[in-house]
Amino acid sequence: MSEEFIIEYCSPTLAGLKTGNMFSTKITKDTDINSEVRELNAVLRDKGLRVIPLRRSDERALIYVYRPDHLKKDLNDPKALSILKNKGYSLESPECCIVQLIKHLKCDDSFPHEIGLFLGYPPSDVASFMNNPRCGVRCSGCWKAYSDPKKAEDTFNRYRKCTRVYKEMNKKGRTLSQLTVMSR
């Protein structure tokens, strides 16, 4: 995974604007995904980020880049707690919830749409999507927004601008570590 790839798909999280991002990366016979994740963690851990593989196949890996402090706050929201509890999560800690998400990704027949909570999406929008993904959508971007389209559009625009600026800065020589904001 190149720095450019991480910046392309994770800039809002690197900038501290977003709880987490996920991306899928190709695996070849020469890919050591565990080594690549360890290297990324070595670069990002001191800035307050974590990188973990959520799911793997022979050809692809789903990688999660997140800010544990943001995730803890997000998952303590009463609506988020209710969604996770209804989906069978134990709620002991954000880390336990991630382990359970990994199990859901591996074992469930359907995709676990509560995954939006791990990305910083509004719990009300996650709940609306889970109840009926087509009914009541007011706008779409990183997620489908049902409740506050103005706020969602503003957020989508901030994420797009952040990604554009980060890509430009990387092309001018700024490294992944230099572009990553320290957690406060």
Question: Does 25 reside within a domain?
Answer: yes
Whether the predicted pLDDT of 44 surpasses 90: yes
Contact 111, 130 (CB under 8 A): no
Per DSSP, 17 falls in state S
Question: Does 183 reside within a domain?
Answer: no
pLDDT digits (tens, 9 = 90+) for 80-127: 999 999 999 989 999 999 999 999 999 888 889 999 999 999 999 999
153-157: Cβ within 8 A, 24+ apart: none
Expressed as residue numbers, the domain containing 67 is 3-168
H or E, element range at 19? none
Q: Which of 178, 149, 179 is nearest to 163 (CA)?
A: 179
H or E, element range at 123? helix 123-131
According to DSSP, the residues that pair with 64 across neighbouring strands are 22, 52
> How many beta carbons lie within 10 A of that of residue 132, not counting itself?
10
Question: Does 66 reside within a domain?
Answer: yes
Question: Does 94 reside within a domain?
Answer: yes
The count of structural domains within the chain is 1
Q: Which of 119, 89, 115, 25 is nearest to 63 (CA)?
A: 25
pLDDT digits (tens, 9 = 90+) for 141-178: 989 999 889 999 999 999 999 999 999 999 999 999 99
pLDDT of residue 114: 96
Whether the predicted pLDDT of 28 surpasses 90: no
Longest dimension (CA), the chain: 47
Question: Does 47 reside within a domain?
Answer: yes
Question: Does 57 reside within a domain?
Answer: yes
Phi-psi region of 173 (alpha: psi -120 to 50; beta: other; left: phi over 0): left
pLDDT digits (tens, 9 = 90+) for 126-145: 999 999 888 888 889 989 99
Q: What are the E-state strand segments in the chain?
A: 20-26, 50-56, 60-66, 139-140, 144-145
Contact 16, 181 (CB under 8 A): yes
Question: Does 126 reside within a domain?
Answer: yes
Rounded to the nearest 5 percent, the helix, strand and coil shares of the chain are 55, 15, 30
**pTM for the complete prediction?**
0.93
CA pair distance 174, 176, nearest whole angstrom: 7
